[in-house]
Amino acid sequence: MKINDMNGSFLTRKNSGFTLIELLIVVAILAILIMMAISTLPKQLEKARDSERKSDLQKIKIAFENYHNDNGCYPPANVLNNCGGTSPANHELSPYLQNIPCDPKDEKPYLYLPYDKNGGANTCDGYRVWANLEKNDDPSIVLLNCAGGSGCGAYAFFASTLGDEASEYNYGVSEGVPVSTGEQAITLTSGYCCAGSCNEWNIDTGVCADGPYPSYQDCVDISYCND
């Protein structure tokens, strides 16, 4: 198509649109962006599921504490087993928890272990609830002493039912006892905690040394040693 410019000369206008090279460049850029999105999606999903696991365990912890306030003990050991439904086990936590959550990936229940300071089977002294975070570089794993390939120590209690899978549980919440069983490798039968010294204790030897508890107050509260 010819048009007349201001000087009266004729010009030819190009047809508008993309050339083949421009289209190929756009397609290549879109392909790269799609590949980048696909490559990061699994990591984002892992992060989202880990956030859900942490949220679930906090809800369970609140429900357990409310249950303890009303009943004097924590729930029975199998209370989390039938998760994600409306089985009778769910009602044992009502009205403290509307639904018992499952792991968001495999729909399995979180691991619950009541703690009896005398080594028995009562559910009144404390508990641990464990989960398996997918992102092994989560800072909370190290903070809870659950790193190193052995998890939080759940294998010692669930090896017969879960096998090696139990060692993968690397995150948890607890009350009356540390999350990680590794923090209780030594049982204090007597002695005292070293005042002001984090994670140190004395078992009537006159020498303070590294112990199984993360802090002085935990040493006092959990081991019941003399202050």
Q: 149-192: per-residue pLDDT in tens?
A: 678 888 888 888 888 888 899 999 998 888 888 654 334 444 55
Looking at the structure, do residues 151 and 85 belong to the same domain, yes or no? yes
Handedness of CA 104, 74, 124, 173 (dihedral sign): positive
On whether residue 57 sits in a domain, the answer given is yes
On whether residue 165 sits in a domain, the answer given is yes
Looking at the structure, do residues 157 and 196 belong to the same domain, yes or no? no
Q: Which residues of the chain have pLDDT under 70?
A: 1-17, 41, 85-91, 149, 182-227
Looking at the structure, do residues 87 and 198 belong to the same domain, yes or no? no
Looking at the structure, do residues 139 and 210 belong to the same domain, yes or no? no
User: Among 156, 135, 122, which Cα is nearest to 54's?
Assistant: 135
Tokens 């017969």 -> residue: 160
Looking at the structure, do residues 148 and 221 belong to the same domain, yes or no? no
Looking at the structure, do residues 50 and 86 belong to the same domain, yes or no? yes
Looking at the structure, do residues 195 and 110 belong to the same domain, yes or no? no
Report field, pTM of the whole predicted structure over 0.85: no
On whether residue 130 sits in a domain, the answer given is yes
Looking at the structure, do residues 54 and 84 belong to the same domain, yes or no? yes
pLDDT of residue 181: 81
Looking at the structure, do residues 150 and 212 belong to the same domain, yes or no? no
Looking at the structure, do residues 100 and 209 belong to the same domain, yes or no? no
On whether residue 99 sits in a domain, the answer given is yes
pLDDT of residue 221: 57
| Number of domains making up the chain | 2
Phi then psi for 181, rounded to 5 degrees?
A: -70, -20
Looking at the structure, do residues 146 and 192 belong to the same domain, yes or no? no
Phi then psi for 173, rounded to 5 degrees?
A: -125, 160
Tokens 């923090």 -> residue: 183
Boundaries of domain holding 218: 186-227
pLDDT of residue 4: 52
Looking at the structure, do residues 118 and 213 belong to the same domain, yes or no? no
On whether residue 68 sits in a domain, the answer given is yes
On whether residue 2 sits in a domain, the answer given is no
Q: How far is CA 226 from CA 35, 82, 191, 218, in A?
A: 61, 41, 6, 12
pLDDT of residue 34: 79
On whether residue 198 sits in a domain, the answer given is yes
Spatial separation of the C-alpha atoms in residues 156 and 161, rounded to whole Å = 11
pLDDT of residue 80: 92
- Give residue-wise pLDDT tens across range 17-29: 678 888 888 888 8
pLDDT of residue 227: 45
